[in-house]
C-alpha cells in the first residue's frame, strides 16, 4: 500500500484536475439552495454511521472521507458531461449537491463491503460506480423522466444492489461463522449513533434539496419529517417485538430508523398528505427491521453475500418500497386531477 495508494490517489487527482481545467467553468447564475446539510450528511452522517465495528472505526470515517472527497469531484465531471454547453461544464450549488448525491450511492455500496476492502480497491470502486451511477441517473431522470426527488431509486437502490454484488465477489467461505472482529462494542455503537442522528436530522434537506419550486420543497420537507418520525416508532416497536426477551437492538435503531427517509424519497414532493408519508415511513421501518432480523442471515448463508452494514435493509428494500410508493402516488395524483370534483373533502 505504501506504493500503490499514493500513486493511484495522486494519479486520479491529477487526471481530475486536468479534466476540470479543460471542461469546468463557474456558472454565473446563483441559486440559494441548502447545500451544507447534504454535505454534513455525506461526511459526518455516513462516516460515523459506519463506525459501529469495534476495530474498524478509523477506517470507516477515514476511507469514507477519502472516497467521498474523490467521488464528488469525479461525480461533478461525469454528471456534467451529460449537460455540456459548448464544450463546457457549468458548476453551481446545484451541481455540488448532485455531486454529493452521487457519492451517497458510493458510500452505500461501501457499507456493504465495509471492512473487507483496502483503500486502493475502494478508490477503483469509486471510479467505476460513479461512472455507472451518472449514466443510470441520466437515463432514469432525463430520458424516462421518472419522479424521484429524493432519489430512492437512483441513489439508494442503485447503491445497495451495486454494493451487494460487489460483496458477493468478496465472499470468503472462511467467514461463514462470522469474523471475530465483526461485532460492535459499547462505544462504537454510541459513535454510530452520532452518524444516525445527523442523517435522521438532515434527511428532510436531502429529499428536498433539488426540488424545483418552493411549494414542492416545503412539501418534501414536511413529508420526509413525518415519514422519519413514524418510522422511529415502528422500529422501536418491532425491534422489541421480534426479540425473545423484548430487548431493543442497537443495530435496528442505528439503521432502520432512517428507512423512512429512503422510502419517502421518490414521492416526497408530491401531494401525498402527511398521513400518506407516515404510512410509508411505518411500512419502511417494519420492512427494515424484519430484513435485519431474517434477511441478512439468509443472504449470508444462502446467497453468500455478507452485507456488513445491512445496506440491503436500510437502502435496498426501502428504496424498492419508495419506488412502488412513487408509482402509486403518481398514479393517484394523475387520477385525482381527473376525479377531484368527486372526491371526499379530506383528499383535497
- Does residue 189 touch another protein according to CB under 8 A? yes
- Does residue 27 touch another protein according to CB under 8 A? no
Q: Which helix (DSSP H) or strand (DSSP E) does residue 91 occupy?
A: strand 89-91
SS3 118: coil
Shortest Cβ 47–another protein spacing (Å) = 15
171 burial via Cβ count (<10 Å: 0-12, 13-18, 19+): middle
Q: Which of 11, 275, 294, 298 binds another protein (CB under 8 A)?
A: 275
Nearest alpha carbon to residue 261 among 149, 137, 112: 149
Q: Which of 85, 187, 294, 339 binds another protein (CB under 8 A)?
A: 187
Q: Considering only residues 199-228, where is the footprint of another protein by CB under 8 A?
A: 200-202, 205, 214-215, 217-219, 221-222, 225-226, 228
Distance CA 222, CA 330 (A): 18
Q: Which of 102, 257, 266, 288 binds another protein (CB under 8 A)?
A: 257
- Does residue 293 touch another protein according to CB under 8 A? no
The piece of 102-110, 166-174, 191-199, 300-308 that touches another protein (CB under 8 A) is 191-199
Shortest Cβ 332–another protein spacing (Å) = 14
Q: Which of 240, 290, 328, 332 binds another protein (CB under 8 A)?
A: 240
DSSP class of residue 144 equals S
Neighbours of 231 (CB within 10 A): 32
* Cell digits of residue 268: 416526497
Q: What is the 3-state secondary structure (H, E, C) of 22-75?
A: HHEEECCCCCCCCCHHHHHHHHHHHHHHHHHCCCCHHHHHHHHHHHHHHHHHHH
Shortest Cβ 161–another protein spacing (Å) = 27
Q: For the chain, what is the radius of gyration of the CA atoms?
A: 20
Shortest Cβ 180–another protein spacing (Å) = 10
* Cell digits of residue 207: 429529499
Cβ distance to another protein smaller for residue 141 or 258? 258
Nearest alpha carbon to residue 318 among 270, 279, 264, 272: 264
* Cell digits of residue 88: 463546457
Instruction: Please name the residue that has the C-alpha cell 427494515.
Output: 288
302 burial via Cβ count (<10 Å: 0-12, 13-18, 19+): exposed
Shortest Cβ 119–another protein spacing (Å) = 26
Shortest Cβ 278–another protein spacing (Å) = 5
Shortest Cβ 141–another protein spacing (Å) = 24
Distance CA 240, CA 280 (A): 21
The piece of 56-64, 96-104, 161-169, 245-253 that touches another protein (CB under 8 A) is 245-253
Give the interface size with another protein as a residue count (CB under 8 A).
57
Shortest Cβ 65–another protein spacing (Å) = 19
Which residues bind to another protein, rule: CB under 8 A?
34, 37, 54, 183-187, 189-190, 193-194, 197-198, 200-202, 205, 214-215, 217-219, 221-222, 225-226, 228-234, 236-238, 240-241, 243-250, 253, 257, 271, 273-275, 278-279, 282, 346
Amino acid at each position: 500500500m505504501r506504493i500503490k495508494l499514493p500513486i493511484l490517489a495522486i494519479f486520479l487527482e491529477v487526471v481530475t484536475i486536468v479534466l476540470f481545467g479543460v471542461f469546468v467553468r463557474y456558472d454565473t447564475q446563483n441559486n440559494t439552495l441548502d447545500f451544507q446539510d447534504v454535505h454534513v450528511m455525506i461526511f459526518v452522517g455516513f462516516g460515523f454511521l459506519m463506525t459501529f465495528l469495534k476495530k474498524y472505526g478509523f477506517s470507516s470515517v477515514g476511507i469514507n472521507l477519502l472516497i467521498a472527497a474523490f467521488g464528488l469531484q469525479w461525480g461533478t465531471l461525469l454528471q456534467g458531461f451529460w449537460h455540456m454547453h459548448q464544450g463546457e461544464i457549468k458548476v453551481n450549488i446545484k451541481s455540488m449537491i448532485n455531486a454529493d448525491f452521487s457519492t451517497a450511492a458510493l458510500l452505500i455500496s461501501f457499507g456493504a463491503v465495509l471492512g473487507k476492502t483496502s483503500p486502493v480497491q475502494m478508490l477503483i470502486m469509486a471510479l467505476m460506480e460513479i461512472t455507472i451511477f451518472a449514466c443510470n441517473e441520466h437515463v432514469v431522470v432525463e430520458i424516462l423522466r421518472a419522479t424521484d426527488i429524493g432519489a430512492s431509486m437512483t441513489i439508494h437502490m442503485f447503491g445497495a444492489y451495486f454494493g451487494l454484488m460487489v460483496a458477493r465477489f468478496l465472499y470468503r467461505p472462511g467467514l461463514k461463522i462470522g469474523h471475530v472482529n465483526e461485532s460492535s462494542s459499547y462505544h462504537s455503537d454510541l459513535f454510530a449513533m452520532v452518524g444516525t442522528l445527523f442523517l435522521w436530522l438532515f434527511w428532510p434537506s436531502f429529499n428536498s434539496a433539488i426540488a424545483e419550486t418552493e411549494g414542492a420543497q416545503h412539501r418534501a420537507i414536511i413529508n420526509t419529517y413525518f415519514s422519519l418520525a413514524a418510522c422511529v416508532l415502528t422500529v422501536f416497536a418491532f425491534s422489541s417485538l421480534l426479540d425473545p426477551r423484548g430487548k431493543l437492538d442497537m443495530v435496528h435503531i442505528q439503521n432502520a430508523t432512517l428507512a423512512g427517509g429512503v422510502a419517502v424519497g421518490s414521492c416526497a414532493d408530491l401531494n401525498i398528505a402527511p398521513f400518506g408519508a407516515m404510512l410509508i415511513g411505518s411500512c419502511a421501518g417494519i420492512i427494515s427491521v424484519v430484513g435485519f432480523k431474517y434477511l441478512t442471515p439468509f443472504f449470508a448463508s444462502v446467497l453468500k453475500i455478507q452485507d456488513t452494514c445491512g445496506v440491503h435493509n436500510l437502502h435496498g428494500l426501502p428504496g424498492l418500497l419508495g419506488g412502488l410508493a412513487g408509482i402509486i402516488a403518481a398514479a393517484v395524483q394523475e387520477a385525482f386531477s381527473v376525479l377531484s370534483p368527486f372526491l371526499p373533502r379530506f383528499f383535497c
